[in-house]
Amino acid sequence: MSSPVVHLPVPRIPGRRGRLQDIPVQGKKKVLLAAPRGYCAGVDRAVIAVEKALERYGAPVYVRKQIVHNIHVVTELEKKGAIFVDEVDEVPTGAHVVFSAHGVSPAVVSAASDRGLQAIDATCPLVTKVHREAVRFARDDFEILLIGHEGHEEVEGTAGEAPEHVTVVNSPDHADTIEVRDPSKVVWLSQTTLSVDETMETVRRLRERFPQLQDPPSDDICYATQNRQVAIKKVAVGADLVIVVGSANSSNSVRLVEVALEHGAKAAYRVDYVDEVQQEWLEGVETVGVTSGASVPEVLVSEVLEELAGAGYRDVEEVRTAEEDLIFSLPKELRQDASGKRDSRALGGRGRA
């Protein structure tokens, strides 16, 4: 039995190398390569979870929504037998379904159970932490101001934990219009992949209106999002152009473009694949900054660097602002192989830059 799949844009097939010309500029050409970049621990865990499920149970394995927001990753998993669906009611009764790294609401979990689906929860543990905070504050009858983008899967999942207690705040300007029932019992939480600076501005404006606004027990914005933004800030100061590798529906990738422009880059663009880099972007450019979102495999960055090298940008300097060694255990269903032995990839850890 087949199932309707999520409608994704058709991925571009990377074009041949050597599209970009080596046109002289006034100074020396070089690349500032941001680090950390690329896969975070939550993405690594989620992608390996789908791969392991396919190995363990065979194709097809169904995935609700995109496992992570990257068209290349999704396309490669489709080739291996993953089927991406919008909702669990599109999954055949009794089949295996993986919940994406962005998390799901209790209603989705319940719907999967009602259909007899064998669910594997690949929600990033940092997102799960925010879910638990929402449940706890709702239990204590707080009104939760959830800073995030309306309609984003992570926001829908978190809000679904306590819908009668959650109000989504989309932006700093939106904070100026929010009304609450009891200003003495208000707390803020946030989507994990937002701009750190914009989130703090939203909190500042909320606190101006609600002085008793409480903070979450720990920072909700994920370590990887923060680290990639810190790195691109340092790169942007010295870059004429910044290229961010990442998909359009990846919040953290889109934020990296915005952060680069806010912190000194003269121009910044997001691309999924190397063949999207345009010759005109390089006119008069001495220094190119390069980074990638937290759901981007390093191979896509390598292809961009190779093409830039052909255009004369052969001097690559890594700008590292943090070391990342965090790894997360795979979902419990996948920690053992078919014989019951602990799987060698139980902790994930494909490696990050």
Residues making up the binding site: 40, 69, 102, 124, 152, 192, 222, 250-252, 295
Q: Which of 51, 143, 153, 154 is catalytic?
A: 154
Active-site residue, 154 included = yes
* 65 Ramachandran zone, left/alpha/beta (phi>0; psi -120 to 50): left
Amino acid at residue number 184: S
Binding-site residues for [4Fe-4S] cluster sit at 40, 124, 222
The alpha carbon of residue 168 and the mean position of all alpha carbons in its chain are separated, in whole angstroms, by 19
**SS (HEC) of 153-180:** HHHHHHHCCCCCCEEEECCHHHHCCCCC
Task: Establish whether the linkage from the previous residue to 216 is cis, with ω within 30° of 0.
Answer: no
242's tokens: 């910044």
Greatest distance between any 2 Cα atoms in the chain: 66
- Quickly tell me which residue has 């065979």 as its tokens: 58
Give the side-chain half-sphere CA count within 13 A for 205: 17
Alpha helical stretches, state H, 212-264:
223-236, 251-262
Q: Specify the DSSP element, H or E, that contains 258.
A: helix 251-262
Binding residues for isopentenyl diphosphate: 69, 102, 152, 250-252, 295
CA distances from 331 to 9, 47, 99, 125 (A): 29, 11, 11, 10
Size of the chain in residues: 353
Main-chain phi, psi angles of 139, to 5 degrees:
-60, -35
Cα 82 to Cα 227: distance, rounded to the nearest angstrom: 31
> What burial class does residue 28 get, using C-beta atoms within 10 Å of its C-beta: 0-12 exposed, 13-18 middle, 19+ buried?
exposed
Cα–Cα distance, 226 to 208 (Å, whole number) = 25
Residues involved in catalysis:
154
